[in-house]
Amino acid sequence: MSIFGKNFKKHAHNYSGRVYNSDRKWIVPFFVSLVVWISLISAAVFGVYSSSSYDKDLVNFDVKSDDFEGSFDEIDVDKASEFPKDKAPRLAYLISGTKGDSKRMLRTLQAVYHPRNQYILHMDLEAPPRERMELTMAVKNDETFSEVENVRVMAQSNLVTYKGPTMIATTLQAIAILLKESLDWDWFINLSASDYPLVTQDDLLHVFSNLSRTLNFIEHTKLTGWKLNQRAKPIIVDPGLYLSKKSDLAITSQRRSLPTSFKLFTGSAWVILTRSFVEYCIWGWDNFPRTTLMYYTNFVSSPEGYFHTVICNTQEFTTTAISHDLHYIAWDYPPKQHPRYLTIKDFEKMVNSSAPFARKFPKDDVVLDKIDQELLGRTHRFPQGAWCVGSSDDGSDPCSVRGDDSVFRPGTGAKRLNGLFEQLLSDDFRSKSCPS
Ligand SMILES: *[C@@H]1O[C@H](CO)[C@@H](O)[C@H](O)[C@H]1NC(C)=O
Ligand SMILES: *[C@@H]1O[C@H](CO)[C@@H](O)[C@H](O)[C@H]1NC(C)=O
Ligand SMILES: *[C@@H]1O[C@H](CO)[C@@H](O)[C@H](O)[C@H]1NC(C)=O
């Protein structure tokens, strides 16, 4: 707010300065009054804006947390990420898909839905306009989504190349939109249409309430050995950056040397990142995230390296990186390149893993129905949650009436998650962060 104001005045000042040197003296008073006028208008606009967001926060505190009544002046409204630890957290989800994925995206969205959270859906450019329209309309026509206003479909659709930097660019764009549109979220979570949750949002939010808001879940290792040669030396070009039709990555015949000013890390492309870390990446006040982004533009499988390399080379964040992606993924064996489709045979292993998410699932597989039934208690659109306070008589949907969204009713999923986090947060596990 103040930054914008300052820039604005600086511009206005420069402008009137230039005019002052010219012969047309009448312009001076004209511009002086114009500057005054613009300042007044912008002050009024920002006055209204800041007071409305201030009011919103005030209301949130009144409604959701008795402890903060009357003590809100201690809370910095501009710093949503530094809310007190005991306030219930909010998650921001990106769910991405391509041609033919709209139904699965909706199903995953419903399975991870909670009114406290934020959601953004991206359908890549390969999907026909009609399918994107269907998705947009389905979101628009959902009563709950349109009342809570926390689901958006990205209007701009990008061409996304598998293993290319266009994937990172889209993820960063989604984060930027989430930052711009909503002050109130603590973690960013990346899912695709073939992902599905294994715990309810009540479980997840309950367990995350107890976590330090500085922790990033990003599975990582140092890039070494043959992988260095295979990943870091080739130079690729992602045609998705400049062509309008999807095609494979182009690999050039030249190779480049390994970087010496930073170390390369690699790991799972599935990440749960804190707001402060993604702000660091998006804003780039330290040029390192941007430099890394440009370096990764010509890197194979950049989604498996960008955030990992940024976090492990930035001292402020190295100790916040927990090396786990919170996903259950079964790899084909050999050659461990592609995740295997999960079926009903994997159910027990999935649950035993205690991971909150799993991938990848075939479209509408029966295992999803089993998850709905046994793990999520999903009888209607959404999984069970304390926010659903309507009646379930005569088969009606209890979530059609919304209650307090900061009250959670954790179940067995929360127990599993707590077990997993105990492991992940142990000193032994954490000492493995960003190996040097
Ligand atoms: C985010 O999610 C998508 C799933 O569609 C995945 O392919 C991508 O690599 C993920 N990671 C990043 C860092 O973009
Ligand atoms: C939160 O953490 C504390 C200590 O770390 C623990 O005693 C408590 O049981 C945890 N609560 C939940 C809800 O997990
Ligand atoms: C899952 O865990 C239970 C209890 O620890 C164990 O008995 C069972 O064998 C496990 N199942 C699989 C498939 O690992």
Please give the full DSSP string across 310-354, using - where no structure is assigned. Answer: HHHT-HHHHTTEES--SEEEPBPTTT--SBPPP-GGGHHHHHHTT
- Nearest ligand atom owner, CA of 422: 2
Q: Which residues of 164-193 are buried (b: 16+ CB within 10 A; e: fewer)?
A: bbbbbbbbbbbbebbbeebbbbbbbbbbbb
Cα(352) to ligand 1 centroid in Å equals: 25
Residues near 369 by beta carbon (within 8 Å), at least 6 away in sequence = none
Q: How far is CA 134 from CA 103, 108, 210, in A?
A: 9, 16, 38
Q: Name the closest-CA residue to atom 4, ligand 2.
A: 210
Cα(187) to ligand 2 centroid in Å equals: 19
Which candidate, 4, 12, 82, places its Cα nearest to that of 43? 4
Helix (H, G, I), strand (E, B) or coil at 267: strand
- The CB-side HSE value for 191 (13 A sphere, CA atoms) comes to 35
Q: What pLDDT is stored for residue 261 in this prediction? A: 95
Q: What pLDDT is stored for residue 186 in this prediction? A: 96
Residue type, 351: V
Q: Name the closest-CA residue to atom 12, ligand 1.
A: 303
Q: Spell out, as residue ranges, where the chain has pLDDT lower than 70.
A: 1-86, 334-336
Q: What pLDDT is stored for residue 314 in this prediction? A: 96
Q: What pLDDT is stored for residue 393 in this prediction? A: 85
- Nearest ligand atom owner, CA of 350: 3
If one residue of 86, 205, 209, 210 were mutated to test the ligand 2 pocket, choosing by the most ligand atoms within 8 A of its CB, it would be: 210
Cα(22) to ligand 1 centroid in Å equals: 55
- Nearest ligand atom owner, CA of 345: 3
If one residue of 328, 348, 354, 416 were mutated to test the ligand 3 pocket, choosing by the most ligand atoms within 8 A of its CB, it would be: 348
Asked if residues 190 and 270 have their Cβ atoms less than 8 Å apart, the reply is: yes
Q: What pLDDT is stored for residue 229 in this prediction? A: 87
Q: What pLDDT is stored for residue 77 in this prediction? A: 32
For 130-186, give the DSSP string: HHHHHHHHHHHH-HHHHHHT-EEE-SS-----TTSHHHHHHHHHHHHHHHHH-S--S
Q: What pLDDT is stored for residue 142 in this prediction? A: 95
